[in-house]
Amino acid sequence: MINDSNLTKLKTGLLFLDFDQINKEPEYEAMGRQTKKHSVISKRYQYAQDLERSFIEAKLTSKLLLEVDNLINVDEKIFEPEEIISYYDGIFLEYIHQIKDKLFRLIWWIIQKDDVKNKIEEPDSINLGNFKSYKDILLVIGIKKYLEDWNQGLSSGIATALRKRTQHHHFISRLQLNEDFQKIRMSKSMLSSASIGYLSEYGKNKMKQIGEESYKKWRDDVINKQKNTLDQIESNLENVSKKLIEFYKFPIEPKKQAEIFNTYAEQQKKFDIENSTSLAKIDGAIKGLIDTFILHTKSFFKEQLVSIYLVGSVPRGEFVLGSSDINIVIITNSDAFDSFPSRMDPLIKVRFFSENSFLSENNKKWRFICWSDGLLIEGKQFKFKKDDFPKPGTFLTLLLNSNTIDELEELKHKVANLKSPSRKIMRFFCLEAVKLMLDFGFGVAMANKPFYSSSRKVKIEYVKKMFPSALRQTKTFEIIYKGATVNQKDYVFMLDTFLKNARKNYTKLSEVAQSAVEG
């Protein structure tokens, strides 16, 4: 079994730190957004990954150079082996500079504090001078001397390669000005069909000998220098990686990595939205009522009917008599029915949409409800995809509660204007309000710590868990949902109190969402 290099361990440790930070701020992942702290942690992993890639590709380039043996024809131009080797040598030098740059940037990001309020500005160019103010921490970590190995003024293989790269990249390249390379070119020129006829047999043999010996000497020299340079770099990277791992205690142990990943996997499960509806879960007595409703609906709309979805507690098998509604979504091929009243019956609540309206951006909420909590009971099955909707979090909360405050305001004014309403009437309005308020509370909880469920019971328990300071309010709403009723005066006060905080929460969520959209 091949042991991982220290560089690979460092990269993997930084990757799991990235996962660990995701675990700590799932509400930001739900919006596709990173905190400043997470951005710093991600940068570290990204540079470690890029550093490893650069080193591997430098070794690959050296290997490709080693295997050069034949000519290559490109657009009728013949490239001789020495030209191809020189080409790879130039690429190799570029990789040495790239490795230095990635290493320095990786170290620079690692020594930055990640709990910052302002965005960290990365240097446009980076060299040893960028670390002058970090001398003490580099000494404590134990990597200062290894950074100095990249000083271009030294005589090491790394320094020589960096100088050659500077010359090759910015000035007149000297890769083909080498004496042996020139002898190779001279030999081939003199042995060409245009010149060979002027040479004696001795001259021909001598030119061939010079070419072969110069090629072997030059090629071996290039290969040996690359090997020595790669060995020095590998030693440097291994030492730096080892010191960084030891100082920062990056998670490289399999047990710790497994713990982080298991937490990550569990968190990802909370982003999954499962439609738990089924025809088999519908109560028999209710099913008869629904079947009758479908029969009359088909008879009324005839060929204009597109689909009927049963949504909510009934197809989930969670219908509570006296608290739950039978919620139905009817989709037609005409917008003439969109304005039909939603209350066809005290027990049945229906939403009407034309197909065009249903598929519009304005009714994305209802498409989500049909996808996540709906059961097709008649007609066309619409093709919904998970990616069509936000993940559980702020964006989904805003989608599902876009009209909640307005609806509560409307309910409050209706009740305030009632004249001596009966208990039955107040019970109806109480149910309408507490369902909206419980759903809104769940939305705020979901935005703070992403999780989704369509179940009323699960939602209530989640709100209790997330907001223990508001436990009294949540329990009051739960009691009302299960059968209690408040009088007209208390109803108005209850909604006023709730709306005061709801507006603040909705505004804050909107600002967070806008900030995420703007990046």
97-138 pLDDT, tens digit per residue, is: 999 999 999 999 999 998 877 888 999 999 999 999 999 999
Residue 18 has pLDDT above 50, yes or no: yes
**Residue-wise pLDDT tens digits, 376-408:** 999 999 999 999 999 999 999 999 999 999 999
Contact indicator for 463, 471 with CB cutoff of 8 Å: no
Residue 306 has pLDDT above 90, yes or no: yes
Amino acid identity, position 148: E
CA pair distance 216, 117, nearest whole angstrom: 59
**Residue-wise pLDDT tens digits, 436-466:** 999 999 999 999 999 999 999 999 999 999 9
Q: What's the pLDDT at 118?
A: 80
Q: What's the pLDDT at 388?
A: 93
Residue with tokens 């000035």: 171
Q: What's the pLDDT at 477?
A: 97
CA pair distance 55, 162, nearest whole angstrom: 14
**Residue-wise pLDDT tens digits, 167-221:** 999 999 999 999 999 999 999 899 988 898 899 899 999 999 999 999 999 999 9
Q: What's the pLDDT at 115?
A: 80
DSSP for residue 124 = S
Q: What's the pLDDT at 1?
A: 41
The pair phi, psi for residue 102, each rounded to 5°, is: -65, -40
Of the pLDDT bands very low, low, confident and very high (cuts 50, 70, 90), residue 46 is very high
Q: What's the pLDDT at 316?
A: 97
Spatial neighbors of 113 by CB under 8 A, at least 6 apart, are none
Contact indicator for 260, 20 with CB cutoff of 8 Å: yes
**What would the mean pLDDT of 254-275 be, rounded to a whole number?**
94
Q: How does the average pLDDT of the chain come out, rounded?
A: 94
CA pair distance 469, 461, nearest whole angstrom: 14
Q: What's the pLDDT at 337?
A: 64
Residue with tokens 């701020």: 25
CA pair distance 189, 187, nearest whole angstrom: 5
